[in-house]
Amino acid sequence: MQGELNGGVWDCHTHIYGPWDAFPLPANASYRPAEAPMTQLLALHEQLGITHGVLVQAACYQADHRALLSALAMTKGRYRGVALVDHTTSGDALRELHEGGVRGIRFNFMGHLPGERDLDRLRELAERVGPMGWHVLLHGQLDQLLPVLDAWEDLDVPLVIDHMGRQDATRPLDEAAVRELERHLRKDNRWIKLSGVDRLMQGAAPPWTAALPLVRRLVQAAPERAIWGTDWPHPNIKGDVPDDSSLLAFVQEACGAEAAEAVLVHNPQRLYF
């Protein structure tokens, strides 16, 4: 099915680590992954037929974006970045990130990752970057994110739900929570990222059939605002590292041909350009 897509395919969720000789981790890194430089990601994308990507700043690098900006510069505008910033980040620093290809910021609510949790401060950040054409990536479990979406109901900045809200697809879904997520996703500036199915399946091997109903519901709720990513190189996961070609095949199966073209090509093009 991949060959039938019209236009450039996007992988909207990746991380890079290193190379260590140029971009070592800080001594207080929240986790210490294996080296995974941009050259490896580009080789993978060429193998999969992916022409565009999004680099999400790794929490272990904190607010040091040198590795991310260096990697973006290698792609001559084909890739975009998502940064980690806080209330101390200056306007000049935001402009530098924008010029380097950054188009969003990520708020981490997962307990194992560092990050601001105060919603008032986070909203102030969102309102600072919104006029720059940026979006906000919300990373947390669904029960953590729904109160944020409720509190920011009137926020006119695109909000992207990361990894489908980190739900557990191996157990019966919380129907009330999923319906509430669907309600939010029907709004014009609320997006869903169909990444992390291996995480939703608690590290199980493909074909991840049990996750298909949830993914299809999310696509149906926001067919023009759903995007996808591999999560390469898959940090902090349970089980074996998933095969990225299987992840791409899964989202194509879940979406069907017409929706897959929107998710993999047209929707990310609108969000990032």
Q: Please state whether beta strands 102-108 and 52-56 pair in parallel, antiparallel, or not at all (unpaired).
A: unpaired
| Catalytic residue selected from 64, 231, 240, 244 | 231
DSSP code of residue 173? -
CB-based contact 106:131 (threshold 8 Å): no
Which stretches does DSSP call E strand in 73-145? 79-83, 102-108, 135-139
Check if 231 is active-site. Answer: yes
- The structure tokens listed for 121 are 């401060």
Only one residue has tokens 């023009």, namely 224
Q: Among candidates 24, 35, 7, which has minimal Cα distance to 64?
A: 24
Q: Quick one: CA torsion of 117, 123, 129, 130, rounded to 10 degrees?
A: 140
Which sequence positions are flagged as catalytic? Answer: 231
